[in-house]
Amino acid sequence: MNREDWLKTAEQSMKSWIVAEGYAYPAQTRISCGFPKASRGRNHSIGQCWTSKASSDDTAEIFISPTQANPARVCDILLHEMVHATVGVDCGHKKPFIKLARALGLEGKITATVAGEALTQRISTMLDTLPAYPHAELHPLDGLKGPKKQTTALLKVECGSCGYIARVTAKWIDSVGAPICPCNGEAMSCQP
């Protein structure tokens, strides 16, 4: 079972919870593990629902961020996005959204809900019927930035023995050499 199959299976279970509250869940949905719009380090969206009007085949599209790997958390994020798909994305986080989200057990700030105690138990019971979530947490910015760049005219120099730190311009290092550590008389080395 791949991630999308797993998410679709969880959706099918949670769909019945929405229907039990008297709502009609959309007939056509797609769920993917992928970055929500503008979330690659620019904001902290962990889920997003796109209206079926945006899809050429009239399908609501839900994205769960690959930065999330805890299956219980993934399910409460998915349920939040399923509420958007149910009441309409154009509703935002207004009264119809709030009413269904709270009825299902989503708590906290309405734009960043989490499962309450009863919903946590309900999700836990559902997870007992699913295999492990086939996903590992993704850290999108780790390793992509490289070493921290020097942003000032003063270079940081550090003693390799005692850790003493000083700052000096490149001109002085080039003309007379690195500063000497006052503790042990060793030449200090530049740090990025």
Return mean pLDDT, the chain. 88
Task: Answer whether residue 187 shows pLDDT above 80.
Answer: no
Task: Answer whether residue 145 shows pLDDT above 70.
Answer: no
Q: Tell me, yes or no, if the pTM score tops 0.75.
A: no
DSSP structure string for the chain: --HHHHHHHHHHHHHHHHHHTT-PPPS-EEEEESPPTT-SSSS---EEEE-GGGSTT--EEEEE-TT---HHHHHHHHHHHHHHHHH-GGGTTSHHHHHHHHHHTEESSTTS-EE-HHHHHHHHHHHTTS---------TTTTTS-SPPP-SSEEEEE-TTT--EEEEEHHHHHHH-SPBPTTT-PBPEEE-
Query: pLDDT tens across 34-84, in order?
Result: 887 764 445 578 999 999 999 999 999 999 999 999 999 999 999 999 999
Rg (CA), the chain: 25
